[in-house]
Amino acid sequence: MRTIIKNGVTFHRPTWEVGPVNLKIRDGVIEQVSRNEIKSDPGDQVFDLQGRLLVPGFVDSHTHLAQSFGRGIYDNLHLTEWLEKRSWDRPLNEKEVYAAGLLGAIEALQTGTTTVAEMTTVGDLSEVLIQAIADSGLRAVVCTPMVDYQEGSKRPPHRNANQALAEAERIFKNWHGTMDGRITMRISPVGLPACTEELMRGSRALADQLGVGLHTHCSEGETETANALERFGQTEVEVIARCGVVGPDTQLVHCIWLTEGDRKLIAETGSHVVTCPSTNTKITDGMPPMPPLYKLGVNIAIGCDGAASSGTYDMLQEARMVSLLGKISSNEADMFPAEEVFQMMTENGARAIGLQGVVGLIEPGYRADLTVIDYPQAHLIDEKRLMSNLVFNATGKDVDSVFVDGKPLIWRGEFTHLDVEAITAHALELMRKADLKGGGR
């Protein structure tokens, strides 16, 4: 099947000049990109953007979508308190996990995200969450996080390293490559404070066996990082490097409490860093030290994390925050200009999660995962300053349409495949019945 998208404008590389764009898409893949009109044939599906801005679909490189039910429950808590309160609260049941995951996926799509790197964090109901993501139409690189060590006063893990690895492999075999390749998997030890070296080494071995990458939290909290140093006698980065959990197929999430040696090790191994600024500031993880990593050539991507900590799945809000925090932490006004953070939320994200060459650019051979921004508007105007306007002025509310694999999941603000009103009403009913704020130790 052929699809024609016409009469849009986009940022043309390498100058970022705004100019006309027309696409020919066949079987979900971009076949032709042209400044000139592309003739359509009878039977083609044609979408007229009428001058709107077409960009690559945003790549959210670290999410916990089921935490949409946790938004507002864990406010005003420091990371250590946040982790402990969540660990002792009542877990969501099967219906709640599905509804929460679908609600998070809807918010992601509404705000222009077409791909997520999802760490499920819903215990034994990971496959329920994966099904919700699959049903939403999102592209997702999913991992089921593994723990085998009690962190602080959190509940002790109910699996040892071998059992955790076996369960991850089972879910991998059920889901990797499903939904016509839209759902793929990675291997995820949740993070060194909750893992043994045995599990870390086993994670690398399993990832190599399955031919996929790794996804883990790293050096997120000051207390947790200090505890790991006391436990192992080395920094978190040094320990996971010793275990093989670094490299060009690894995404390290947060990376707040790094030493200079840690930063150099991340750069030397070609590991990718995912920064989640709303979470890092809201639950006081610490100032994300991205400028020093950037100067070392580390590939930096952006994640919205979970709504229970960040409050949002809006990548445009996160991108703006990455730039502003980079400027103030380095005291360099030219740190992280709009073009750089735009790349972080598109092609850098794709590279970090193993989808380089698949998504993140509007070029022939790439999947047609696309976001359309309503343009022009009062706060989004003039092609010569449009990139700055997009990153510093826009939010997800400016998203007009979203395509995944060339299929319009949202067109002119309306979902084409989901009854969002009914889904939202059902989720609200479940949340009210659950009284989720009543939990705690």
CATH number, domain of 392, equals 2.30.40.10
Q: How far apart are CA 127 and CA 144, in angstroms?
A: 9
Q: Is residue 222 part of a domain?
A: yes
Question: Side chain identity at 392, as an amino acid letter?
Answer: F
Whether the CB-CB separation of 9 and 48 falls below 8 Å is answered with: no
Question: Residue 70 is part of a domain; what is its CATH number?
Answer: 3.20.20.140
265 and 393 inside one domain: no
Q: Which two tokens stand for residue 294?
A: 């950037």
248 CB neighbour count, 10 Å cutoff: 13
pLDDT at 406 over 60: yes
Same domain (yes/no): 257, 194:
yes
Condensed to tens digits (0 to 9), the pLDDT of residues 198-247 reads: 999 999 999 999 999 999 999 999 988 998 899 999 999 999 999 999 99
Q: Are residues 147 and 24 in the same domain?
A: no
pLDDT at site 87: 62
List, for residues 155-201, the tens digit of each pLDDT value.
Answer: 788 899 999 999 999 999 999 999 999 999 999 999 999 999 999 99
- Final residue of a structural domain among 329, 352, 375: 352
pLDDT band at residue 438 using 50, 70 and 90 as cut-offs: very low
The answer on 269 and 305 residing in a single domain is yes
Predicted pLDDT of residue 369: 98
Distance in angstroms (rounded) separating the CA atoms of residues 110 and 398: 9
Residue 306 lies in a domain: yes
Same domain, 342 and 372: no
Q: What residue has token string 């590389």?
A: 13
52 and 71 part of one domain = no
Q: How confident is the model at residue 83 (pLDDT cuts 50, 70, 90)?
A: confident
**253 and 135 in one domain?**
yes
In a domain, residue 307? The reply is yes
Beta strand extents in 108-163 (DSSP E only): 113-119, 139-143
The arithmetic mean of pLDDT across residues 371-383, rounded, is 96
pLDDT for the residue 440: 38
In a shared domain, residues 171 and 23: no
Helix axes 197-210, 161-175, angle to 10 degrees: 30
Q: Dihedral of the CA atoms 342, 346, 347, 348 (nearest 10)?
A: 70
Placement of tokens 């790094």 in the chain: 258
Does 430 fall in a domain?
no
Show the domain range for 73: 58-352
Strands 399-404 and 370-373: antiparallel
Cβ 199 vs Cβ 243: under 8 Å: no
Confirm whether 441 is domain-assigned.
no
Q: Is 140 domain-assigned? A: yes
Write out pLDDT tens, residues 340-373.
999 999 999 999 999 999 999 999 999 999 999 9
**352, 375, 398: which is the final residue of a domain?**
352
83 or 17, which is more confident? 17
Q: What number of other Cβ atoms are within 10 A of residue 29's Cβ?
A: 15
Same domain, 50 and 66: no
Same domain, 325 and 302: yes
- Residues 91-129: tens digit of each pLDDT: 899 999 999 999 999 999 999 999 999 999 898 999 999
Of the chain, the percentage scoring pLDDT greater than 70 comes to 98
List strand residue ranges (DSSP E) for 209-331, in order: 214-218, 250-254, 272-275, 300-302, 305-306
Task: Quote the Cα angle for 53-388-4, to 5°.
Answer: 15
Domain boundary among 328, 352, 376: 352
Whether the pLDDT of residue 439 is over 50: the answer is no
Q: Which residues contact 145 (CB under 8 A, 6 or more apart)?
A: 119, 120, 121, 188, 189, 190
Is 198 in the same domain as 318? yes
Question: Most confidently modeled of 31-35, 88-92, 226-230?
Answer: 31-35
Shared domain for 70 and 181, answered yes or no, is yes
**Beta carbons within 8 Å of 188's beta carbon, 6+ residues apart:** 119, 143, 144, 145, 146, 168, 203, 214, 215, 216
Name which residue leads in pLDDT, 141 or 88: 141
pLDDT averaged over the chain?
Answer: 95
**Whether the predicted pLDDT of 88 surpasses 60:** no
Number of structural domains, the chain? 2
Better-scored residue on pLDDT, 29 or 89: 29
Model pTM greater than 0.85?
yes
Query: What does the alpha-carbon distance between residue 344 and residue 346 come to, in Å, rounded to a whole number?
Result: 6
Specify if 114 maps to a domain.
yes
Query: Is position 426 within any domain?
Result: no
